[in-house]
Structure 1
């Protein structure tokens, strides 16, 4: 696999790359990467640096001439090490409408027109009177796009959900909406893979959704390849696009979020502290496989791009197939 900085517009960013059997933290500038030492970071590790997010410290290194390697000669992996992964559900109006119309609901008595009207009213009411909806992912599910996505054999309805992910900087606990942006270190790309026929419990419908089984198979959170500093990103208005085998399936903007990024951070932090390096996924725009009636198959290639954050390429293989 050839690593490039395609779509990365920031003057520099962080990435992790494989060095033999280990993984090293690196600084990316253009099509170059160089390793970062704890002394250069001013912290013992990535999350220690993100707690302060002193990007000015790295700015001079990005302009230096020493220690660089061509980006194309290294293999990048996930650029984050979160202790917690929070995921915002139903946060794009049209996405939820699509899912309800497509039948992802426990009420199958509505016509498509009735389902669309029901979902549209539900989203409008949420935006006006509601609050964000969160669930928790497993940090162990995070991988880089250097790892193929193995499609579990117990289902044939594995779906994609490309999302803008917030990387937390300083600890956020019961912060206000007005102060929330001060707790963002940067942003990255996450594809939140979902097994659709495991979202709802069939054995006890009253329980509702089962996000553990639907979203936490190995490798179900392809992340990166870059962690882009917050000062270089306007998270309120970036384009989120996913192509499947060259065909555009998702093409939305974070300007359509029901609850914007400050609202998400503030709401999530009211229950538990968000820690340096944690990920907060902001939701998926419309255009998932459930809408297209087309799910992931062996050999599929997903190319996810978020404006300014670079490009993520994920290759799918059937369980038991080749992982080379």
Structure 2
């Protein structure tokens, strides 16, 4: 098999369709796709047998189809999405400064206080994980629809870990053995709804802020975990061709293993589930430039390919 210049390793998995035909799981190698529906109806079904399936994929054979003749859908339909908040140091500091009122604390004071807070989090070993809805997932080249009520839509490009083996109360040392693959997720956020001003004692409203339909572009593909190191990948988002996010996963506060282990202490993670690892610095709120009708977001992570989504105001 030839290796794609955009993907780590010799192949990846995805979900495809030809025209209006049914969706099918496919093996991607270079610019061609092998239909795997004879082996399983979905990529999630393949992940449920991942330990047996992965060795077979190296020897897969059959009739290959040109990739450019197929529509690429979100690569997997997760049962559960676990999302990580405040997991990149620079991002957390930038957001804290951006959210500070005009007559509030000086920026340097905010930066120092937030940096101290993150040092405490590391010492206490407590990631911040919350729940996302699978209904927010859309394809890697589909439109992101901005709801009429959303006034501050923002981007958050993230590395997503895809579960293979079920994981329940796994240790940090064992956590990565439960990760089958990695993919790209853009955790689009309605910034004006993150904090409930009417109930500050309750805190954040993740339901409305992050879970509108199409708010989680996913893919394009699932790249097997054996093909890359999640600890040193470049996460880059361009808005209309201009670089907005460009940060290494080295800036994570808690790594993939810690996040998977932490989430699994409460939730049984199932094949196909996603663990989003948080957004690096460079969001729209930081740049003072939020999403508008017609904007094009292009998100790339080292070895995982590129997703491209146009924003469309539903009005």
Distance in 1 (alpha carbons) for counterparts of 2:143 and 2:35: 25
Q: Which residue of 2 aligns with 1:76?
A: 72
Q: Which residue of 2 aligns with 1:46?
A: 43
User: Once the 2 structures are TM-superposed, how far is the Cα of residue 280 of structure 1 from its aligned partner?
Assistant: 0.3
Unaligned runs of 5+ in 1: none
Secondary structure at the aligned position of 2:82 is classed as strand
TM-score, structure 1 normalization: 0.92
Q: Which residue of 2 aligns with 1:9?
A: 8
User: Once the 2 structures are TM-superposed, how far is the Cα of residue 241 of structure 1 from its aligned partner?
Assistant: 0.5
User: Once the 2 structures are TM-superposed, how far is the Cα of residue 107 of structure 1 from its aligned partner?
Assistant: 11
Distance in 2 (alpha carbons) for counterparts of 1:227 and 1:235: 13
Bigger Cα displacement from structure 2, 49-58 vs 284-293: 49-58
Q: Which residue of 2 aligns with 1:86?
A: 82
User: Once the 2 structures are TM-superposed, how far is the Cα of residue 247 of structure 1 from its aligned partner?
Assistant: 0.6
Q: Are 1:217 and 2:212 counterparts?
A: yes
Matches within 5 A, 1:256-267: 256-267=251-262
Q: Which residue of 2 aligns with 1:31?
A: 31
Distance in 1 (alpha carbons) for counterparts of 2:6 and 2:275: 22
Q: Which residue of 2 aligns with 1:179?
A: 174
Secondary structure at the aligned position of 1:179 is classed as helix
Q: Does structure 1 conserve the Cα–Cα contact (< 8 Å) formed by 2:85 and 2:278?
A: yes
The change in CA–CA distance for 1:107 and 1:204 in structure 2 (over 3 A counts) is farther
Q: Which residue of 2 aligns with 1:56?
A: 55
Matches within 5 A, 1:66-145: 66-103=62-99, 109-145=104-140
Matches within 5 A, 1:301-316: 301-316=296-311
Distance in 2 (alpha carbons) for counterparts of 1:94 and 1:227: 27
Distance in 1 (alpha carbons) for counterparts of 2:5 and 2:242: 18
Q: Does structure 2 conserve the Cα–Cα contact (< 8 Å) formed by 1:142 and 1:222?
A: yes
Residues 64-85 of structure 1: CA distance to partner in whole angstroms, max 9, x if unpaired? 4x31111111110100111000
Q: Which residue of 1 aligns with 2:228?
A: 233
Distance in 2 (alpha carbons) for counterparts of 1:98 and 1:312: 25
Matches within 5 A, 1:137-286: 137-286=132-281
Distance in 2 (alpha carbons) for counterparts of 1:88 and 1:164: 11
Distance in 2 (alpha carbons) for counterparts of 1:236 and 1:130: 18
User: Once the 2 structures are TM-superposed, how far is the Cα of residue 6 of structure 1 from its aligned partner?
Assistant: 6.1
User: Once the 2 structures are TM-superposed, how far is the Cα of residue 48 of structure 1 from its aligned partner?
Assistant: 3.0
Q: Does structure 2 conserve the Cα–Cα contact (< 8 Å) formed by 1:150 and 1:219?
A: yes
Q: Does structure 2 conserve the Cα–Cα contact (< 8 Å) formed by 1:82 and 1:277?
A: yes
Distance in 2 (alpha carbons) for counterparts of 1:132 and 1:207: 19
Q: Does structure 1 conserve the Cα–Cα contact (< 8 Å) formed by 2:176 and 2:257?
A: yes
The change in CA–CA distance for 1:213 and 1:12 in structure 2 (over 3 A counts) is same
